[in-house]
Each structure stands twice: as C-alpha cells, then as structure tokens.
Structure 1
Amino acid sequence: MKNERINILFKYIALLTVIMLAQSCNKDKVDFDELIERYSKEKKDSLKLQCAIFLKDNIKDITSEQPYFYNENKEKANFILDTVTSDSSLKSILKKEKIDFSSFRISDADILSSEILEDNINKAISDWKTYPWNKNVSKDIFLNYLLPYKVLCENPENWRGRLFLKYKDSIAKHERNGDRNSEHLYYSLKKEAWSWLKYTNDFTKITQSPSLSELLAVKKGQCYELSHLFVYIARSAGIPATIDIVPLWGKTGGSHAADVFYGPIRENGVIKRYGLRPGDPFVSPPKVLRMSFRKVNLWSDSIKPIIVNKNYYIPDFLKSDHLLDVTQEYVSSSNLVYQFEKRLGVPLAYICVYNYGEWVPVFYGRVFQNGKYVKFNAMAKDMAYHIAVPIGNKYQLIDKPFILDSMNHISYSNPNFDRKINIVLNKTNVGQESWVKKNREYNLMFLDKDNVWKGIGSKFCDQDSTLTFTSIPSGAFYMLKETKNNKKLERIFLYEHGQQIWY
C-alpha cells in the first residue's frame, strides 16, 4: 500500500511538471484582442472577426485531455504517437521500452496560439464558402459545427490539414461533379475510413477523448472513439459535424455516441429540410445530448444554481456547459411532471433508466412547491423510469419504477393474483445473449406492489427460444434471468397479447 501511494505521488508530481512546462513554453498564447482588433480594420475580414469573437466567447471553460508517457522511473518519456502505425505495435513498443501512460487536463487558452486559431479560421471559412454542399449551411451552423478546432475535450491538432491531404482526391471528385448533397461525400469518406478502421472493445485507450494522432496510431475503437474520427473527416471536407451522446439506453444496456453531420433530412423519401442528423438512426434513446462548442450553460445556468454549492451527487456528464439537449429531434418526448409520494427536501432529482442490473441517472429535474413534485424536460416516451434523489455524494431511489407510455400516462407494476395467466417467453432482453437456450435454467420474477422483485419459480428450457410458465399473476412488471449468467443482461418486460413488451 505504501509503494502504491508513492507511485501515485510520483505520477502527480510528473503531471504537474508537464502542465507547468506546457504553460511556460507556449509564449505565443492566443491573443484574441489582437485578432479582433486586426479583423476589425477591414470590411473584408468581417466574417473572420465574427469567428474570433465566437471562439473567444466560448473557449474560456474548455480544456484538453493530453496524454502523458513516462518511463519506469516516473520520468517523462520521449514518445511520439505519430510514429505508431497500429495498436499491436503500440503495445509492443510500450512493453519493450517499459513505458506507461496517463493523461491530464489543461486549459485550451494555455496551449493554443493566435497562429493556430488564425489558420483554423481561414481554412474553415474557405471550406464553407467554396464547396457546393455547403450552400444550405447557415452561419450559426458554420460557427458551431465547422469552425471549431476540436470536437470538445480532446487535445487539439492539425486534423484539417492532415485529413484533407488523405482524402483530397475524393473531395475533389465530388466538388468537380458539383454535388450539392453532403450526404454522398460523407458516406463515401466514411467508407474509405472503414477500410483501415476496426470497431472493437479490445484496444489501447490512451485518453477518454481521442485526438487524431491517437486514432491514427491505434486504428481501433468503439462508438465514442470512432465518432471523433468521423467528425474530423467530415469537417476536413467542409461538412459541419459533431457528436450526439446517448448517456444510457432505455431498453437495453450501455450507452452510445455517434457522429452527426449536416445534410438533408427526409420524410418518406422526400427532403423536408436540412440539419444535423446521424448516419444511422438511434433506437429508443431516453435522452440525447449534442456536443456544442457554443456554450449552452446546462451546468452553470440550470444545475449549479439549484444546488447552491451543496455536496450533491451529480453525474459527470451533466457537469458541462457544452451539451445541448436534442432528444426531441429523435423520439417522441414530453416534459414529465412527477409528484412524489412524500414531500422531499432536495432541490433536484434524477430520472433513472435500468442498466445492467441497476437504476442509473440519465437526466436531472428541478423540484418545485417545497418538494411536492419534480419536472424533467424532454424525456422519451414508452420507457421505464425510476426516480432518485441525491444523498450526499450518492443517490437513492425513491417511490416505485414506472412506465411512461406513448400517451404520456404513467403505469406501475400491478400484479393481479385473481387473474393468472400462462406466458410463453422467447428472450431475456433485446440485446446480446437474448434468446433462451435449451437445457439452461431461468428464473422468472415479478415486481410486487411493495416494489420488491419476487421469484415466481425456476425452470429449465426444453426448446430453444421457447419457455413456458403457467399460472402467474397478470398485470405485473416481469424479468427473466438466466440462473447461471451473472452479466445482468435481463430487462423489464410486460406481457400483452401473447408478446413480451420490452423496457
């Protein structure tokens, strides 16, 4: 334990040293006042002026996650990611050279220079004004989703220049054809990228928010990592893009992130409007948040004033002023007003979804009328929820889980022992390892009126995809769990008209 504390101390000192060096070495820090003054002199620079003002107004709280490599003596290692060509070679080099890595946060204002930002502004404006697929892109979309030098939290790099050189032939081909549809180019560039990318959870994760150098070195990742790359590629071709996040799914486990690009939005095959849209539609997201370079102040204006510096549990993803709620763009949603069974003395509450065996907060709501009720904005309908309140640095579930249906009605588990039914079950969930299997044992449970999951009984499956239970109470919330599977994949379901209805 003593050696572990010493190692942590060494790492902390090393990271602190790197931060100090980064701040001291960057003598040419960005000088927004100088840029703004220079751009104000000529009318032809009016758009550059607006760009500089936009970046200045929104950069103040933005930080970058920078990787830090160190040797076995806890000294900074001279390691350059750009020299790495694959994940396997990265692992081999780190092992051979006895190098480990960590990361640290640093303010963008301390690592950017006026030259970097000016080059970025010039290239972004040129792309917006030149390419035919940008004819429908408004100035607001340009500023927030094409101009920024990064997605949000990653280490800024010259991804525009590097990726433009990589894909310039494809970009030029679409430009020569006068293609006004960004959709065609977007999918074409992604297809090229998939020729050398791999989606997997088995990869070296250097930082939580990857830079281009990290992505090109590893060439692997999951949705969050790869969506960063696709945003870089889209923006390098002049296509506004960003990332939409599903903090947690509502009808299966896990979370999601996807790149979204500015292009045509169709209804029944007809273009109705233009806007940001994902390459693939989301299925059953309870909440969708968009990475916005422009401050939307979700944290500073909406959450922080409510808690008034009290030590309340706050999910990390909510501590950001750069997440825009776009749930209504994806699903039918409503402002859910929930009345507590008993008045509560807290200023905010959480709405939770079921995720791998536990209820986890997916969004917050403000409590009104001295603890009588809470309001959650834009929550997806046809979803199972549970309310929680912060207790110190944790949260506690209250009342009972419920289903918010498509008509905005709330229903609870209501087992009816006077009307028993027979049910034929096929799955334990709608995601991975879902189908029931022959010769495996399953336990069927229901939620009683006291909010306790009770076992109805265990049974071995006699036939793949079919498992029958007889004489069980109707009208309840159910779960089917494989007895020897501890992955917590089971989901809540209703049983209606001979079918499992999943939540």
Structure 2
Amino acid sequence: MRIRKVGYYILFSWFVAGSLCLGLYSCKNKDTQTALDIAMEKAGDNRQELEKVLRHYQQSPADSLKYKAACFLIENMPYYSYPVGEQLDNYKTYFNWLRHYRKKTPQQLSDSIRQLFGPIGELEKKQDIHEIDSAYLCHNIEWAFKVWQEQPWGKHISFATFCEYLLPYRIEDEPLKYWREEYYNKFDSLLLPLKNSNSLDKENPVAVANYLIQKLPHKYHRYTGIFPYSFGHVGPEHVQYLTGSCREVTDFAVYLFRALGIPCAIDFIPVRGNVNASHLWVVCWDKYGKEYMTDFPRELWPTEKNWWYEHDDSPKVYRTTFSLNRTLAEETGNDGEEIYPFWSLPKFTDITHVYGRHYLEQVRIPVSRLYNTPTKGKIAYLCLSYRKRWIPVDRTVYKRGQLIFNKLRKGSVMRIATYENKELIYLTDPFYIDKNTNELHFYTCEKQTKEITLYSKYQLTNDELFLNRMLGGVFEGSNRADFKTKDTLFVIREKPYRLNTSVKIHSDKSYRYVRYIGGKNSNCN
C-alpha cells in the first residue's frame, strides 16, 4: 500500500512537472523565443511535417550535423515565398524559345508569348513554411550532405560555409523543385576524369569549378533583358537553357555548383555607378578560403583581378545569403518607421570591402549639406541615379547629430534621402567622392541658371566600343527580299555622334526592303 502511494506521488510529480514544462513552452515570452520556435509557430498546419524532419535527425548521434542543418533551413524558411499559376508556367516557355528560335529577336518572341497565352493575370503566392513537406526537406539535406562528404574537395568546406552556400534548397522566389539529384546525374560524370586522377586540383573547389565550366557541352549564353513578364527567379528547369539576363545564367551556375558540392554565392550590385542597370555574378572559394568570381560561363578569377574590382565604381556590393541578416533587420530606425522594400527582409551581407579598390571605411555627410535635420534614429538612404529616378543602395541611422555611411566605393554620383509614404524625400544635393582627395563634391544649383541639353548621362568610354563597330557599316535598299540586286544608300565612314545621326541619301528610288550590314568584325545583329 505504501509503495502504491509512492508510485502515485511519483506519477503525480511527473504530471505536474510535465504540465509546467508544456505551459512554459506554450507561454514562452516572445523575447526569449528562438528563430526555430518562431518558424515552427508560423508553420501552422504544416508544423507536423517539419517536426518529422527534426525527429528523424534526432534519433542518431551520427545525424547531429544533419539536425543542425535542418534547423538552419527551417528557421529561415518563413522569409521565402513564390508565385504559382498555369499562365506563369506558360510564359516561362519563353526561355526555351530563346534557345531554339535564334533567328527571332527577343522582342518578337516576347510578343509572341503574350499573344499566344494572353494576359498572365493574378498569381497565387505560396509560403515555403506552409508548403514544404518532410520528404522534400530530407531529400535536399541528404543530397547536400552526400556531395559535401563524398566529393574530394569537400574536406576543405566548413559546416558554416556548407549551411549558407551549399545546403539551401532554393535561391529566392522560384518554384519548389527536386533539382539536386537531376543536376547531379546530368553533370557529375563530367568531373569523373578529374576525380579519378592524381591531380591536387580535385581538392580545390575553384579548380573543380573551372574544370567543370570547360567541360560543359553547351556554354552559349543568349543574353537579353527583354521578358514578356517580370519573372523573378524562374527555377532550375528553365535556367538550363542559358538564356535571359545575368540573373538566369547565374542561377544556373548556383544550381550546378551546389548540386556537385561546390559552395557558391551570388554577389550583386543593386545599381551600377555608370550604367542604368544592376548586375549579379557567381563567387566561389578555393581550399584556402580565397574568393574567386565569374560572369558565368567564363572561368573563375581572383576577385582582386577581375573587371568589377578594377573599373566599376558602384558604391555598394552585396552577397546573397539564405539566412536572414537579423542584425540588419533589427536596425529599423524609429519605431514603426516605413522601410524601403530592399531592406524589409535583408537576405544579404555587405561585401563592398572585397571589391575594395577606391573605397572608404566611413563617409560622413556634413550636416550643413542637409536640407532638413532628420529626427534621431531616422533611417537615411544613399541613392544612385537610375534613368529618371534615384534608387537606394545603402542605409544608415541618423544618431548623435551624425550621418555616416560605411564602406563606400568612390566615383559615383550619389544623393541622400529618407523614405516616407512610399516616396523618397531628398536630404541633399547630388554629390560624388573624389578618388584622389576623398573630398565630397556637391552639385549645388547656383543663383544664375541656364538650360542645357544633355546627350549623355555618363562619360562615353563604355560607348566607344559600339561606336567604333559602326565604322564601315552599309545601308542598302532593294526590291528583292534576297538583296541579289541592291543599291548602296549610305556608308558610315566616320564614327557617329551619340544618339541620332541624320544623313541624306542621293537615291530617288523607292525600295521595299532596307537593311544594314555591319562592317568587318562588327558583330552586327
């Protein structure tokens, strides 16, 4: 009888303790919640699928790293979503068409897509945290670990690098696909001669990446910035055509490298300092941790020897990460302040110093140059011009009467603004940082003004290549589509002036067809 009472007491104690633990977990203060706790709460009805993965990798001590990898993916999963829709899939056939219909211009193909399929309409948006099941997540983890542990170069890859730049199941907002096994089966055989050799290169991820690039059967990239729809990232299936912009070809490199166990990241410039465009490329690390970059499918080169380091003046360069940059996300300025969308979910880190020629550790904006003094804690944005508007590329918080931006490359024209009601409110005149003296030069309106016409936003250095290619170009007229009989209408003998050059022809005939033939080595379209 006494034993039974003790047994009841023990059971009751366990029940109370268990109830308290459950109560403590369910009532956990939000300030003490981990990123994993928050993610599991956001999973809602899909929580069971994620818990299956965690329980699966908790069963054996040998899977402790896989458990940590699963936690890493899940805790960052709430920050990813993707659009879906039948029309979106239809529109993505555009990338296949670009590959196979080379005689058609991108604009013609884009127009044909719209005409064939009609308006794309509204698309449904799905959240990773609500959609990913245990099978998909485990498949990704198993294949990521397989290539990390089995490939000869994996021994030089740390777990931290593995998690951020090899393990992720996606890039950004593309549809969820099983891509690792497909890419591995399709491309790993290209590496067999190297893996079976005695070369020390097989232990260097960068050497392996360059070997792979050389062995790719199809490396032709049909570049265009024309699309029938603003796709975002289109996914592992469509980027294999190597058509589209730098985004599509870079995405292909990421799927390819990661599927074969080569960690890599995407570095990008939000707005270039001397062109109305952004740009992105791939970066990898050798076995010593040195960084190499490529505008794929070119070979990887040391970062400090590439074109972006030597010639580009874009003030900021960033590297994409799978994880949320929580430090940056928490720097929200004043309570409830509206954040410019680029920083609303910052999944990137500042690596301007890596491309560090002509850069300053700190740039202090003189308070005397501000139109208005911001309130304490207000976020200020550093902007670059983009056609007729300005685009923020960096941010800082106004505090202690100072406005300081960190790690800026010199040379570009910039401007400071705040962001309110979805609009930029400018705080300064445009300015640039002198590369030699490090002084800030502001473009301030004088009292006396006059109207001028600008034919160029930037210096014409980058245009020289294209202008020179027009020398020797010929305009021809004919009434036959095959131009077997033709008249020469005009020959370009002098380098043309930028924008439009008007000339007179001396023929008074009518022609059904007119064409332009580029000069020698002009690469004319």
Fold-level similarity (TM above 0.5) = yes
Closer, same or farther in 2 for the Cα pair 1:414/1:49, shift >3 Å?
closer
Trace 1:28-427 onto structure 2 (pairs within 5 A).
31-63=49-81, 65-70=82-87, 85-87=96-98, 95-96=115-116, 100=120, 103-177=123-197, 179-191=202-214, 192=216, 194-195=218-219, 197-205=221-229, 207-216=231-240, 219-263=242-286, 273-275=289-291, 277-278=293-294, 279=300, 281=306, 282=308, 283-297=312-326, 300-302=329-331, 304=332, 306-310=333-337, 312=338, 314-331=339-356, 332-341=359-368, 342=370, 343-346=372-375, 347-369=378-400, 372-406=401-435, 408-412=438-442
The whole-number CA distance in structure 1 between the counterparts of 2:124 and 2:251 is 19
Amino acid at match of 1:241: C
Closer, same or farther in 2 for the Cα pair 1:80/1:338, shift >3 Å?
closer
After TM superposition, the structure 1 stretch with the greater mean CA deviation from structure 2, 328-337 or 146-155, is 328-337
Secondary structure in 1 matching 2:364:
strand
Offset at 1:316? Answer: 2.6
Query: In the TM superposition, what whole-angstrom CA distance separates every residue of 1:39-72 from its partner, at most 9, and x where no partner exists?
Result: 2221211111111111122212222x234124xx
Amino acid at match of 2:355: Y
The whole-number CA distance in structure 1 between the counterparts of 2:244 and 2:340 is 24
Secondary structure in 1 matching 2:86:
strand
Offset at 1:263? Answer: 2.5
Amino acid at match of 1:352: C
> Given that residues 82 and 213 in structure 1 are in contact (C-alpha distance below 8 angstroms), is that contact kept between their aligned partners in structure 2?
no
Closer, same or farther in 2 for the Cα pair 1:174/1:261, shift >3 Å?
same
Offset at 1:262? Answer: 2.7
> Given that residues 84 and 125 in structure 2 are in contact (C-alpha distance below 8 angstroms), is that contact kept between their aligned partners in structure 1?
no
- Asked if 1:429 corresponds to 2:460, the answer is yes
> Given that residues 29 and 114 in structure 1 are in contact (C-alpha distance below 8 angstroms), is that contact kept between their aligned partners in structure 2?
no
The whole-number CA distance in structure 2 between the counterparts of 1:482 and 1:110 is 51
Amino acid at match of 2:380: A
Offset at 1:429? Answer: 3.1
Query: In the TM superposition, what whole-angstrom CA distance separates every residue of 1:3-22 from its partner, at most 9, and x where no partner exists?
Result: xxxxxxxxxxxxxxxxxxxx
Query: In the TM superposition, what whole-angstrom CA distance separates every residue of 1:180-216 from its partner, at most 9, and x where no partner exists?
Result: 2222332343452653542222445562112112324
Amino acid at match of 1:235: R
The whole-number CA distance in structure 2 between the counterparts of 1:415 and 1:203 is 39
> Given that residues 53 and 70 in structure 2 are in contact (C-alpha distance below 8 angstroms), is that contact kept between their aligned partners in structure 1?
yes
Q: Which runs of no fewer than 5 residues in structure 2 stay unpaired?
A: 1-43, 102-108, 295-299, 447-454, 469-492, 503-525
The whole-number CA distance in structure 2 between the counterparts of 1:97 and 1:230 is 30
Offset at 1:139? Answer: 0.9
Q: How large is the Cα RMSD of the aligned pairs? A: 3.8
Query: In the TM superposition, what whole-angstrom CA distance separates every residue of 1:382-421 from its partner, at most 9, and x where no partner exists?
Result: 43322222343211333332222345432345999xxxxx
Question: Normalized per residue, which structure has more strand?
Answer: 1
> Given that residues 334 and 379 in structure 1 are in contact (C-alpha distance below 8 angstroms), is that contact kept between their aligned partners in structure 2?
yes
Offset at 1:350? Answer: 1.4
Amino acid at match of 2:316: K
The whole-number CA distance in structure 1 between the counterparts of 2:48 and 2:222 is 37
Give the % identical residues. 20
Q: Which runs of no fewer than 5 residues in structure 1 stay unpaired?
A: 1-25, 71-76, 265-271, 417-424, 438-461, 467-480, 486-503
The whole-number CA distance in structure 1 between the counterparts of 2:324 and 2:247 is 21
> Given that residues 364 and 404 in structure 2 are in contact (C-alpha distance below 8 angstroms), is that contact kept between their aligned partners in structure 1?
yes
Secondary structure in 1 matching 2:413:
strand
Closer, same or farther in 2 for the Cα pair 1:94/1:168, shift >3 Å?
farther
Query: In the TM superposition, what whole-angstrom CA distance separates every residue of 1:244-298 from its partner, at most 9, and x where no partner exists?
Result: 120011233311111222326xxxxxxx743464446323231111111122125
Closer, same or farther in 2 for the Cα pair 1:273/1:122, shift >3 Å?
closer
Name the counterpart of 1:19: none
The whole-number CA distance in structure 2 between the counterparts of 1:206 and 1:49 is 37
Closer, same or farther in 2 for the Cα pair 1:84/1:398, shift >3 Å?
closer
> Given that residues 298 and 324 in structure 1 are in contact (C-alpha distance below 8 angstroms), is that contact kept between their aligned partners in structure 2?
no
Offset at 1:157? Answer: 1.2
> Given that residues 67 and 206 in structure 1 are in contact (C-alpha distance below 8 angstroms), is that contact kept between their aligned partners in structure 2?
no
Alignment length (residue pairs): 393
> Given that residues 283 and 291 in structure 2 are in contact (C-alpha distance below 8 angstroms), is that contact kept between their aligned partners in structure 1?
no
The whole-number CA distance in structure 1 between the counterparts of 2:91 and 2:129 is 23
Amino acid at match of 2:422: N
The whole-number CA distance in structure 2 between the counterparts of 1:373 and 1:210 is 42
> Given that residues 69 and 101 in structure 1 are in contact (C-alpha distance below 8 angstroms), is that contact kept between their aligned partners in structure 2?
no
